[in-house]
Amino acid sequence: MSYKKFISEKRLRKSTSEREKNLIIETESDKARIIFSAPFRRLQKKAQVFPLEQNAAVRSRLTHSLEVSTIGRQISQKIVRKIESLSHEEKEAFVNIVESACLLHDIGNPPFGHFGEAAISKWFKNAGNGCYAHHKNEHPDWYSDLEKFEGNAQGLRIITKLQSEDDYGLNLTCSAICAYLKYTYPEHERKKQEENPSTKKNGYFLSESTKIQGAWKKLRIPPHNRHPLNFVMEAADDIAYCLSDIEDGIEKKLTTIDELIAHIKSELKKGENAMANDAWIEILTHASKEKMPTNKFISIRTNLINRSTTIAAEHYIKREDDILKFRFSESLIDERSAEYIILNIIRKFVSEKVYTAREAEILELAGDSAISGILEKFKPLLDLPKSSFDALLEKDRKIIKSLNLDIEKRLLNLIPKQCIKTYNHEKDSPLEWYYRAHLIIDYISGMTDDFALEIYQKLSGIRVL
C-alpha cells in the first residue's frame, strides 16, 4: 500500500499562496510553526514530574518533548532506510511528520500535568447545579468532555483553533494533525468501543470534531483510526519517559543508580527470562567501564535507547502492511523483547520511587488546590446568563453598572484576547455555555505551573504583588 495519502502536504485551510507545494518544505514548516509557537515555549515551565522545580537539570515538558522528538527521529530514520518504495522526498517527510507529532504530544497538558487534568474534571463533575445542570441535561454528550478533561484533546484544540487570527490554529498539515492523535474517539463514544489503546482516553473534544473529521477525510483515513506514524510517536514517548523520569529521580536523590541496577537484576531473576537477562548483562558490562555514576547511567540510557529504537523500527517493518491497513493496535516495542521487559521494570521502579515521593505528591496536591481554586474564582462568569456575558464582551458600561458586574468584568479582563477570539468564533450556538466553559479552560490549561500558582494566590488574596 502506498504512503502517498498518509504523507501529504494538505492542510485544512485552503492555501492562498501560489508557491509550489513541496512535501519536505511543507513538513519542515510544521516543525517551525510548532517550535515558534507560544504553547510550545510555555512547556519549559510545565513539569514533567516535579512541579515548580528550580533545578534546571531536572526535565520540564519542553525538554521531555525535545527528547521524544529525537528518539522519534531515530526510529523513523531506521524505518525509512528499509522501505524501498518511498521516494527521497517521502522519506524526509516521514521523519519530519514523526518529529512534529513528538514535539506536539504534550502541548495540551495543563499546569501540574495529570493532577491538573484531574482537578478540571473533578471541578466540573462537582459543579452540577444551577446553569451547568440545565445545559448538561440538554446536551449530555457534549458536557462529558468537561467532566473528563484530557490534555491530548486540549492539544488538538490548541493546534487546530487557538493559535491564529482565524479558526485554523497553527494550520499544520493534516498528516501532522493525525499523527499527533493517539486516542481517536470523543469521550461519549469511547466507552462504547471494544477496549484498545485508541479508546483509553478522551481523544478530542466535540468542539474539534469537524476539524479531525476533516483531516481524516483529506488523508482518506477511515474515521477513528490512528495515522500509521502515530505508532512511531507513541513508541518514542514510551522509551523516553521512563528513562528520563528515573534519571530525574536520581538527580533529585530519591534513588541511586546502584539501587536501580540492583532492582533490575532482582526482577530479571524473578522473571527467569534468559533473553532479557543476557541483554541486561551486556548493557551493564558496557556501563561498568564508566567510573562516574552519572556516566554509568548515560551509558545505560544510550544503550537502551539504541536497542529500543531498533526493536521499534523492526516491529514497524514487520507489521507495516497491518499498520497501513489499520489492523494494528499494539506498541511498536514488542512486549516479548528484552528491551520491553527491561523498560517495564524501570517503569514500575519509577512509580514506586519517584512518582510517590513526598515532594512530588505535596506539589501535586498544591496544584490540585490551585486549579480548583482558579475555576471557583472564575465561576461567576459561568453563572451569568448569555445576555449579561455578551454585555461584558461588548464592554456595555450601562448594563455592567446596572447589573453590578464589576467583579465579572475584571475576571474577563484577565483572559487573553486569543482565547476570547476563539470563543467569539463559537458562541453563536445552542451550546454557548459549553464554549464559555472552554474559554475558561483554555485560559487555565495554557498557564505554566508557576503562573497558575501565582494567579490562584492573587485571586485568593494570599498574595498581592
Q: What is the pLDDT of residues 23-75, one digit of tens each?
A: 999 999 999 999 999 999 999 999 887 777 777 778 899 999 999 999 999 99
pLDDT bracket for residue 465 (50, 70, 90):
low
Domain ranges of the chain: 23-111+152-219, 112-148+358-465, 236-357
More confident residue, 165 or 89: 89
Report the C-alpha gap between 444 and 415 in whole angstroms: 9
- The residue to which cell 516495542 is assigned: 333
Q: Give the chain's mean pLDDT.
A: 90
Digit-coded pLDDT (tens) for 310-335: 999 999 999 999 999 999 999 999 98
- pLDDT on residue 106: 95
Checking if the pLDDT of 177 tops 90, the result is: yes
Compute how many other C-beta atoms are within 10 angstroms of the C-beta atom of residue 441: 23
Checking if the pLDDT of 192 tops 70, the result is: yes
- The residue to which cell 510548532 is assigned: 34
Q: Are 90 and 328 in contact (CB under 8 A)?
A: no
Q: Are 331 and 311 in contact (CB under 8 A)?
A: no
- pLDDT on residue 131: 59
* Chain mean position to CA 131: 31
Report the C-alpha gap between 25 and 3 in whole angstroms: 18
The residues assigned a catalytic role are: 64, 105-106, 237, 410
- pLDDT on residue 128: 53
Amino acid letter, residue 353:
K
More confident residue, 3 or 54: 3
Under DSSP, is residue 240 helix (H, G, I), strand (E, B) or coil?
A: helix
- pLDDT on residue 256: 92
User: Looking at domain 23-111+152-219, what is its CATH homologous superfamily?
Assistant: Hypothetical protein af1432 (1.10.3210.10)
CB within 8 Å of 160: residues ≥ 6 apart:
12, 168, 169, 170, 177, 208, 211, 212
Residue 160 C-alpha cell reads as: 487546530
pLDDT bracket for residue 21 (50, 70, 90):
confident
- The residue to which cell 502517498 is assigned: 4
Does the domain made of 112-148+358-465 have the CATH classification 1.10.3550?
Answer: yes
